[in-house]
Amino acid sequence: MSRLERVTKETTIVADVRLGTGVSNVVIGDRFLAHMVETLARYSGLDIDIEANGDLRHHLVEDVAIVLAQALKEELPDGIARFGSSLIPMDEALVQAAIDVGGRPYYVGKIPSKLYTHFLHSFANNLDATLHVKVMRGEDRHHVVEAAIKATGMALRQALVPAEGVFSTKGVVQQERLD
Protein backbone atom coordinates (compact mmCIF):
# COMPACT_ATOMS: atom_id res chain seq x y z
CA MET A 1 0.00 0.00 0.00
CA SER A 2 1.26 3.45 -0.89
CA ARG A 3 -0.06 6.22 1.37
CA LEU A 4 0.79 9.73 0.29
CA GLU A 5 -0.04 13.08 1.78
CA ARG A 6 0.26 16.30 -0.20
CA VAL A 7 -0.27 19.60 1.58
CA THR A 8 0.05 22.95 -0.17
CA LYS A 9 -1.46 26.39 0.45
CA GLU A 10 -4.15 25.34 -2.05
CA THR A 11 -4.98 21.70 -1.25
CA THR A 12 -4.69 18.95 1.33
CA ILE A 13 -4.81 15.39 0.01
CA VAL A 14 -4.23 12.04 1.68
CA ALA A 15 -4.45 8.95 -0.54
CA ASP A 16 -3.82 5.21 -0.39
CA VAL A 17 -3.55 3.45 -3.75
CA ARG A 18 -2.96 -0.28 -4.19
CA LEU A 19 -3.50 -2.98 -6.77
CA GLY A 20 -6.76 -4.64 -5.87
CA THR A 21 -10.32 -5.08 -7.02
CA GLY A 22 -11.52 -1.54 -7.73
CA VAL A 23 -12.88 -0.68 -4.30
CA SER A 24 -12.81 2.99 -3.37
CA ASN A 25 -13.49 5.24 -0.43
CA VAL A 26 -13.54 8.77 -1.79
CA VAL A 27 -14.15 11.89 0.30
CA ILE A 28 -13.84 14.91 -1.98
CA GLY A 29 -16.04 17.99 -1.82
CA ASP A 30 -16.31 18.17 -5.61
CA ARG A 31 -18.91 15.51 -6.40
CA PHE A 32 -17.99 15.12 -10.08
CA LEU A 33 -14.30 14.70 -9.25
CA ALA A 34 -15.25 12.14 -6.58
CA HIS A 35 -17.32 10.29 -9.18
CA MET A 36 -14.39 10.28 -11.64
CA VAL A 37 -11.97 8.94 -8.98
CA GLU A 38 -14.48 6.21 -8.07
CA THR A 39 -14.82 5.40 -11.78
CA LEU A 40 -11.05 5.27 -12.27
CA ALA A 41 -10.74 2.90 -9.30
CA ARG A 42 -13.46 0.56 -10.52
CA TYR A 43 -12.29 0.36 -14.14
CA SER A 44 -8.57 0.12 -13.35
CA GLY A 45 -8.98 -2.43 -10.57
CA LEU A 46 -7.13 -0.17 -8.15
CA ASP A 47 -8.22 0.18 -4.55
CA ILE A 48 -8.24 3.89 -3.77
CA ASP A 49 -8.85 5.61 -0.45
CA ILE A 50 -8.64 9.38 -0.73
CA GLU A 51 -9.61 12.48 1.20
CA ALA A 52 -9.08 15.80 -0.52
CA ASN A 53 -10.09 19.41 -0.15
CA GLY A 54 -8.89 22.59 -1.74
CA ASP A 55 -9.48 26.24 -2.41
CA LEU A 56 -10.31 26.12 -6.13
CA ARG A 57 -11.71 23.35 -8.28
CA HIS A 58 -8.74 23.56 -10.68
CA HIS A 59 -6.21 23.08 -7.87
CA LEU A 60 -8.19 20.19 -6.40
CA VAL A 61 -8.57 18.34 -9.72
CA GLU A 62 -4.90 18.79 -10.62
CA ASP A 63 -3.53 17.82 -7.21
CA VAL A 64 -5.77 14.76 -6.90
CA ALA A 65 -4.42 13.53 -10.26
CA ILE A 66 -0.85 14.17 -9.13
CA VAL A 67 -1.25 12.30 -5.83
CA LEU A 68 -3.10 9.33 -7.38
CA ALA A 69 -0.40 8.93 -10.02
CA GLN A 70 2.51 9.29 -7.62
CA ALA A 71 0.99 6.80 -5.18
CA LEU A 72 0.33 4.32 -8.00
CA LYS A 73 3.87 4.77 -9.32
CA GLU A 74 5.21 3.62 -5.94
CA GLU A 75 2.98 0.52 -6.12
CA LEU A 76 3.95 -0.61 -9.62
CA PRO A 77 5.30 -4.15 -9.42
CA ASP A 78 8.05 -5.48 -11.66
CA GLY A 79 7.02 -7.64 -14.58
CA ILE A 80 3.76 -6.00 -15.63
CA ALA A 81 2.34 -6.08 -19.15
CA ARG A 82 3.04 -2.34 -19.36
CA PHE A 83 0.70 -1.64 -22.29
CA GLY A 84 -3.06 -1.42 -22.40
CA SER A 85 -5.80 0.03 -24.56
CA SER A 86 -9.55 0.31 -24.38
CA LEU A 87 -12.46 1.59 -26.43
CA ILE A 88 -15.42 2.66 -24.27
CA PRO A 89 -18.92 3.60 -25.42
CA MET A 90 -21.14 5.62 -23.09
CA ASP A 91 -24.43 6.48 -24.68
CA GLU A 92 -23.52 8.73 -27.65
CA ALA A 93 -19.89 9.05 -26.57
CA LEU A 94 -17.08 6.81 -27.79
CA VAL A 95 -13.57 7.26 -26.38
CA GLN A 96 -10.36 5.31 -26.84
CA ALA A 97 -7.35 5.29 -24.50
CA ALA A 98 -3.95 3.64 -24.84
CA ILE A 99 -1.30 3.62 -22.12
CA ASP A 100 2.31 2.57 -21.69
CA VAL A 101 3.43 2.46 -18.06
CA GLY A 102 7.04 2.31 -19.15
CA GLY A 103 8.64 5.33 -17.52
CA ARG A 104 8.21 7.83 -20.33
CA PRO A 105 5.79 10.62 -19.40
CA TYR A 106 3.73 11.92 -22.30
CA TYR A 107 0.09 12.83 -22.85
CA VAL A 108 -1.84 13.36 -26.06
CA GLY A 109 -5.54 14.01 -26.06
CA LYS A 110 -8.23 16.59 -25.83
CA ILE A 111 -11.58 16.04 -24.22
CA PRO A 112 -14.35 18.65 -24.03
CA SER A 113 -13.24 19.80 -20.58
CA LYS A 114 -9.98 21.67 -20.11
CA LEU A 115 -10.06 20.68 -16.46
CA TYR A 116 -10.27 16.93 -17.13
CA THR A 117 -7.83 17.12 -20.04
CA HIS A 118 -5.49 18.62 -17.44
CA PHE A 119 -6.41 15.82 -14.98
CA LEU A 120 -5.36 13.15 -17.49
CA HIS A 121 -2.22 15.08 -18.47
CA SER A 122 -1.18 15.47 -14.80
CA PHE A 123 -1.97 11.81 -14.11
CA ALA A 124 0.13 10.55 -17.05
CA ASN A 125 3.09 12.83 -16.30
CA ASN A 126 3.22 11.93 -12.60
CA LEU A 127 2.86 8.21 -13.32
CA ASP A 128 5.67 8.48 -15.89
CA ALA A 129 3.31 6.94 -18.42
CA THR A 130 2.50 7.64 -22.03
CA LEU A 131 -1.25 8.13 -22.38
CA HIS A 132 -3.18 8.78 -25.58
CA VAL A 133 -6.89 9.61 -25.34
CA LYS A 134 -9.00 10.01 -28.45
CA VAL A 135 -12.61 11.16 -28.47
CA MET A 136 -14.18 9.49 -31.46
CA ARG A 137 -17.65 10.95 -30.92
CA GLY A 138 -19.84 12.44 -28.25
CA GLU A 139 -22.00 15.45 -27.56
CA ASP A 140 -22.71 15.28 -23.85
CA ARG A 141 -19.63 16.60 -22.04
CA HIS A 142 -20.30 14.49 -18.95
CA HIS A 143 -20.51 11.32 -21.06
CA VAL A 144 -17.30 12.09 -22.95
CA VAL A 145 -15.31 12.88 -19.81
CA GLU A 146 -16.60 9.79 -18.02
CA ALA A 147 -15.91 7.58 -21.05
CA ALA A 148 -12.34 8.97 -21.14
CA ILE A 149 -11.80 8.10 -17.47
CA LYS A 150 -13.32 4.63 -17.98
CA ALA A 151 -11.16 3.99 -21.06
CA THR A 152 -8.04 5.15 -19.20
CA GLY A 153 -8.95 2.89 -16.27
CA MET A 154 -9.52 -0.16 -18.48
CA ALA A 155 -6.27 0.45 -20.35
CA LEU A 156 -4.47 0.79 -17.03
CA ARG A 157 -6.03 -2.47 -15.80
CA GLN A 158 -4.52 -4.27 -18.82
CA ALA A 159 -1.14 -2.61 -18.35
CA LEU A 160 -0.87 -3.64 -14.69
CA VAL A 161 -1.38 -7.39 -15.11
CA PRO A 162 1.64 -9.64 -14.57
CA ALA A 163 3.42 -10.53 -17.80
CA GLU A 164 5.92 -13.12 -18.83
CA GLY A 165 9.04 -11.56 -20.23
CA VAL A 166 9.82 -7.93 -20.79
CA PHE A 167 7.98 -6.04 -23.52
CA SER A 168 10.87 -3.85 -24.55
CA THR A 169 13.81 -4.13 -26.87
CA LYS A 170 15.83 -2.41 -24.11
CA GLY A 171 15.21 -5.33 -21.77
CA VAL A 172 14.90 -4.55 -18.08
CA VAL A 173 15.84 -0.97 -17.29
CA GLN A 174 17.70 -0.74 -14.02
CA GLN A 175 18.08 2.65 -12.49
CA GLU A 176 19.27 3.59 -9.04
CA ARG A 177 19.55 6.90 -7.26
CA LEU A 178 23.10 7.47 -6.03
CA ASP A 179 22.72 10.10 -3.33
Q: pLDDT (tens digit, 9 = 90+) per residue, 59-113? A: 999 999 999 999 999 999 989 999 999 999 999 999 999 999 999 999 999 999 9
* Burial of residue 174 (number of CB atoms within 10 Å: 0-12, 13-18, 19+): exposed
pLDDT bin (cut points 50, 70, 90) of residue 164 is confident
Alpha carbon distance 141, 147 (integer Å): 10
Question: What CATH number is given to the structural domain containing 144?
Answer: 3.30.230.40
Report if residue 179 sits inside a domain: no
| Average of per-residue pLDDT values in the chain | 94
Report if residue 172 sits inside a domain: no
Give the pLDDT confidence score for residue 170 in this predicted structure.
57
Whether the per-residue pLDDT at 39 is higher than 80: the answer is yes
Q: What is the pTM of this model?
A: 0.92
Q: For the ranges 3-12, 67-76, 154-163, 169-178, which has the lowest average pLDDT? A: 169-178
Alpha carbon distance 31, 139 (integer Å): 21
pLDDT bin (cut points 50, 70, 90) of residue 172 is low
Report if residue 59 sits inside a domain: yes
Q: What is the mean pLDDT of residues 26-48?
A: 98
Report if residue 105 sits inside a domain: yes
Secondary-structure breakdown of the chain: helix, strand, coil percentages, each rounded to the nearest 5: 35, 35, 30
Report if residue 175 sits inside a domain: no
Report if residue 178 sits inside a domain: no
- Structural domain including 71 reads 2-159
Give the pLDDT confidence score for residue 168 in this predicted structure.
58
Instruction: Give the count of domains, the chain.
Output: 1
Give the pLDDT confidence score for residue 176 in this predicted structure.
67
Q: What is the mean pLDDT of residues 125-143?
A: 98
3-state secondary structure of 159: helix
Report if residue 173 sits inside a domain: no
Q: For the ranges 30-34, 152-156, 163-167, which has the lowest average pLDDT? A: 163-167
Report if residue 25 sits inside a domain: yes
Q: What is the mean pLDDT of residues 7-36?
A: 97
Beta-strand pair 93-100/106-109: unpaired
